[in-house]
């Protein structure tokens, strides 16, 4: 299978960040880099404690050859056996996916964390917010490890707790409610048919603190696979929704549900009332936080037009973090798992152009040699924070575990975890649904399984 490194070695393939052409370890040592790079590259405050401090990767691991690293990962994993479960997001490099017990999108991996309650440790090959979620959902005795604590998410960084609290206080003045009032988990049962003035909905790509904020205020978490079901849940319980941090997922989902664009004002946290007047906010159905994914915003309608011209009959499927015009011009839009399913369901001989992260696209292309599969963006552009889980970190964390030492643990503050769990449990009950479209040849399945073994 083609790895990013091999792709970058090919002289004709341009990359979105020249740093990607440097040796992996040099690239990994850069403080920030490329699309997807986390603004601060620090562990979110709600998970900072003595054990969560980034450990320094021992130099010995940096000097190991790939073959040595792979041999050591395999040996450590074998010696740990059922004591450890390794979860890998679809955007991880092939070298990491090879060792994952479960590979999936963020919804599936949140569920997968629950399927192995006997494992002592969950090693999450993904980014901060995913590992935090696993820690919140796991049993208290279980340890969650993020192999490289610098693996964040630039979109998640775009909504911090202070800015969301400040926005909430301003909205409370417009809608006349008490911003400090906690809406207990049983509020909806105690007020049948009652509606809150505004329901906070956070995308999974957010800190544990913001998930807790939603849990405290009658809100819910969504992922890209169940955003539509979650918005239905929220509209049944509130007059409107404050959706953060991804404006595109919020807009694309609400638009597919028939919400007019005029009822979706944008909230810019640096402006009073988010840059809106009170009347527009009173008429709003979905208030969209000004956040975005720097990987998915690279996709354009011009790329789709070029793919259609070069490949008549091509089917275009994109992730809903892409801008609205791109989702509108595509044949289908859905989460990472739904994209995988779209490709699996397409007839042999189909040509499919995909608008999502390059590791995922290359893997799909390798898994379906009977179909022509390519990335809409001709430039190689991995999510550079997902890319930070290098095999060296996996070898180090697994060997440390086998030696009885926990490194790079993610541990969410118990009070934050308690409220975040409320919002996450609501999210887990919301079944995935495609946003738009199915492959033209068969039906897209909307499996709600909790992650599958590879």
The residues that touch ligand SF4, with contacts defined as CB under 6 A, are 36, 127, 153-155, 205, 293-295, 321, 357, 383, 385-386
CB atoms < 10 A from the CB of 369, how many?
9
Closest CA to 146 of 179, 178, 123, 173: 123
Q: How many residues bind ligand 13P (CB under 6 A)?
A: 10
Kindly state the smallest distance separating residue 151's Cβ from ligand 13P, in Å.
Answer: 11
Closest CA to 143 of 84, 99, 96, 213: 84
Contact 157, 203 (CB under 8 A): no
- Rule CB under 6 A: is residue 446 a binding residue for ligand 13P? no
String of contacts with ligand 13P for each residue 190-209, x by CB under 6 A? ---------------x----
CB under 5 to 8 A by kind: which of ligand SF4, ligand 13P, none does 224 bind? ligand 13P
Kindly state the smallest distance separating residue 377's Cβ from ligand 13P, in Å.
Answer: 14
Residue 106 annotated as lining a ligand binding site: yes
Contact 206, 88 (CB under 8 A): no
Contact 243, 290 (CB under 8 A): no
Exposed / middle / buried, residue 270 (Cβ in 10 Å: 0-12, 13-18, 19+): exposed
String of contacts with ligand 13P for each residue 360-399, x by CB under 6 A? ----------------------------------------
CB under 5 to 8 A by kind: which of ligand 13P, ligand SF4, none does 105 bind? ligand 13P
Contacts of 363 (CB under 8 A, 6+ apart): 1, 90, 94, 97
Kindly state the smallest distance separating residue 54's Cβ from ligand 13P, in Å.
Answer: 21
Please name the residue that has the structure tokens 């859905």: 334
In the three-class reduction of DSSP (H, G, I as helix; E, B as strand; rest coil), residue 200 is classed as: strand
Exposed / middle / buried, residue 449 (Cβ in 10 Å: 0-12, 13-18, 19+): middle
Residue 143 or 148 with smaller CB distance to ligand 13P = 148
CB under 5 to 8 A by kind: which of ligand 13P, ligand SF4, none does 36 bind? ligand SF4
Angstrom distance (rounded) from CA 418 to CA 413: 9
CB under 5 to 8 A by kind: which of ligand 13P, ligand SF4, none does 335 bind? ligand 13P
Kindly state the smallest distance separating residue 282's Cβ from ligand SF4, in Å.
Answer: 31
Residue 320 annotated as lining a ligand binding site: yes
- Rule CB under 6 A: is residue 293 a binding residue for ligand 13P? yes
- Rule CB under 6 A: is residue 223 a binding residue for ligand 13P? yes
Angstrom distance (rounded) from CA 88 to CA 109: 8
Closest CA to 87 of 25, 155, 138: 138
With contacts defined by CB under 6 A, name the span among 16-24, 217-225, 277-285, 403-411 that binds ligand 13P: 217-225
Kindly state the smallest distance separating residue 17's Cβ from ligand SF4, in Å.
Answer: 13
- Rule CB under 6 A: is residue 105 a binding residue for ligand 13P? yes
- String of DSSP letters for 57-109: PPHHHHH--HHHHHHHHHHHHHHHGGGEEEEEETTS-HHHHTT-SEEE-HHHH
Answer for which of 336, 384, 422, 438 binds ligand 13P (CB under 6 A) is 336
In the numeric block, which tokens belong to residue 207?
Answer: 């800190």
Residue 89 annotated as lining a ligand binding site: yes
Binding-site residues from annotation for [4Fe-4S] cluster: 153, 293, 383
Applying CB under 6 A, which residues contact ligand 13P?
A: 105-106, 205, 223-225, 293, 321, 335-336
Q: Which residues are annotated as a binding site?
A: 89, 106, 153, 203-205, 224, 293, 319-321, 336, 383
């Amino acid at each position: 299978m083609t790895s990013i490194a091999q792709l970058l070695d090919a002289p004709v393939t341009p990359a979105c960040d020249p740093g990607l052409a440097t040796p992996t370890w040099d690239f990994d040592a850069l403080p920030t880099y490329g699309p997807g790079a986390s603004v601060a590259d620090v562990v979110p405050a709600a998970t900072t404690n003595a054990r969560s401090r980034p450990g320094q990767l021992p130099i010995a691991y940096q000097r190991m050859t790939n073959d040595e690293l792979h041999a050591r990962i395999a040996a450590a994993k074998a010696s740990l056996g059922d004591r450890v479960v390794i979860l890998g997001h679809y955007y991880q490099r092939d070298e990491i996916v090879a060792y994952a017990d479960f590979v999936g999108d963020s919804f599936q991996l949140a569920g997968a964390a629950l399927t192995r309650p006997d494992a002592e440790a969950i090693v999450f090959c993904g980014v901060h917010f995913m590992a935090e979620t696993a820690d919140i959902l796991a049993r208290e005795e279980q340890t969650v490890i993020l192999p490289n604590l610098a693996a964040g998410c630039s979109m998640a960084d775009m909504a911090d707790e202070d800015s969301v609290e400040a926005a909430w206080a301003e909205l409370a003045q417009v809608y006349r409610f008490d911003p400090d009032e906690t809406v207990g988990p049983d509020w909806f049962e105690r007020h049948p048919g009652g509606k809150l003035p505004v329901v906070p909905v956070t995308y999974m790509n957010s800190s544990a603190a913001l998930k807790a904020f939603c849990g405290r205020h009658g809100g819910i978490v969504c992922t890209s696979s169940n955003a539509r079901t979650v918005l239905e849940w929220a509209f049944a319980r509130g007059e409107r929704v404050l959706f953060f941090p991804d404006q595109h997922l919020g807009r694309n989902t609400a638009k597919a549900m028939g919400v007019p664009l005029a009822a979706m004002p944008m909230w810019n946290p640096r402006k009073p009332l988010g840059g809106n007047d009170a009347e527009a906010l009173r008429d709003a159905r979905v208030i969209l936080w000004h956040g975005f994914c720097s990987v998915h915003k690279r996709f354009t309608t011009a790329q789709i037009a070029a793919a259609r011209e070069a490949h008549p009959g091509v089917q275009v499927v994109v992730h809903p973090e892409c801008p609205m015009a791109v989702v509108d011009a595509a044949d289908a839009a859905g989460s990472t798992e739904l994209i995988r399913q779209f490709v699996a369901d397409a007839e042999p001989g189909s040509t499919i152009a995909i608008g999502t992260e390059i590791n995922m696209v290359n893997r799909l292309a390798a898994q379906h040699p009977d179909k022509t599969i390519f990335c809409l963006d001709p430039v190689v552009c991995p999510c550079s924070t997902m890319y930070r889980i290098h095999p060296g970190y996996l070898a180090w964390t697994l060997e440390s575990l086998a030696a009885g030492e926990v490194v790079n643990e993610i541990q969410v503050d118990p009070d934050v975890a308690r409220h975040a769990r409320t919002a996450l449990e609501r999210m887990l009950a919301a079944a995935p649904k495609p946003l738009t479209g199915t492959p033209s040849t068969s039906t897209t399945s909307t499996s709600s399984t909790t992650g599958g073994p590879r």
